[in-house]
Amino acid sequence: MSGSQLSALAMKNDMADQDQAAITSADGNYDIFEHLKLSGEPLIPQLTPDFPDGKPGRVSNATEVEKTVLKLNGYRVKYQEYWRSTANDTSTGTSSHEFILDGLMAC
């Protein structure tokens, strides 16, 4: 795989991470603030950048979430195709991730 292909794959991975975060925070993370209210504790500094005004984020509607889910699923299919294609680049004919997992299991 060329350097440009690896760069493109890494960028897609970053986009998938962003899409995953959008799905898991689609409710605005209101529960964080409910728990903080119950405990009386402040928002931890690590989460301050995610909630600059100290309130839950914007709530996504079902259509927005579904579009993001479909986009993420499409990415996952392409990534799986990529990993399967790595079998053509190995001397064993198995995908690279299978080789790595086998190596980890032997450790």
Contact 80, 28 (CB under 8 A): no
- Residue 57 amino acid letter: G
d(CA 35, CA 41): 9
pLDDT tens figures, 62-81: 999 999 999 999 888 888 88
Task: Flag whether the pTM goes above 0.75.
Answer: no
What is the model's pLDDT at position 9? 59
d(CA 25, CA 18): 10
7 versus 63: the higher-pLDDT residue is 63
* Residue 93 Rama label (left phi>0; alpha psi -120 to 50; beta): left
pLDDT tens figures, 18-65: 888 899 999 999 999 999 999 999 999 999 998 989 999 999 999 999
- Please say if the pLDDT value at position 10 is more than 70: no
Contact 85, 78 (CB under 8 A): no
What is the model's pLDDT at position 6? 52
At residue 29, the 3 state secondary structure works out as coil
- Please say if the pLDDT value at position 88 is more than 60: yes
Q: Where are the domains of the chain?
A: 3-106
